[in-house]
Amino acid sequence: MTRLKVCAQPGCPELTDKRHCPEHAAQAEQRRGSRQARGYTAEHDRLRARWKPKVERMEVDCARCHQRILPGQTWHLDHTDDRTAYLGPSHEQCNTSAGGKAAHGG
């Protein structure tokens, strides 16, 4: 059974099973900017493709937590916190957690 909660947008009464209702989720995604504006260029895609076979062969440790990335685990090609370079592959959760902490001063 899915639990519904009120949209996280202040003042919105819509119930959702996600963080935001569809309208406010679309607005939040638009504010994020395009994929390219966030640093996911063709170069990023090529570099990720080069890492992929190593990750699939379980030869890569997460750049954030230093634990092995296992088969079936979702991973990202992680940027440095200032987004000027790459750290290498990171578990999806490690990368998104680091991004959230950086965005909120943590």
Q: Do 51 and 95 fall into the same domain?
A: yes
Q: Give strand pairing partners of 76.
A: 90
Q: Is residue 1 part of a domain?
A: yes
Q: How many of the other CB atoms lie within 10 Å of CB of 96?
A: 14
69 is a domain residue: yes
pTM surpassing 0.75?
no
Contacts of 42 (CB under 8 A, 6+ apart): none
Does 99 share its domain with 47?
A: yes
Give which of 85, 93, 82 is closest to 43, Cα–Cα.
Answer: 85
| pLDDT (tens digit per residue) in 62-96 | 999 999 999 889 999 998 888 888 999 999 999 98
Please tell me whether residues 47 and 99 are part of one structural domain: yes
> Is 37 part of any domain?
no
Q: Is residue 68 included in any domain, yes or no?
A: yes
The answer on 19 and 47 residing in a single domain is no
14 and 46: one domain? no
Asked whether residue 82 is assigned to any structural domain, the reply reads yes
Q: Which residues of 44-75 are buried (b: 16+ CB within 10 A; e: fewer)?
A: beeebeebeeebeeeebebbbeeeebeeeeeb
**92 and 50 within one domain:** yes
Summarize pLDDT for 23-73 with one digit per residue, the tens.
Answer: 998 888 788 767 666 667 888 899 999 999 999 999 999 999 999 999 889
Domain that holds residue 13: 1-32
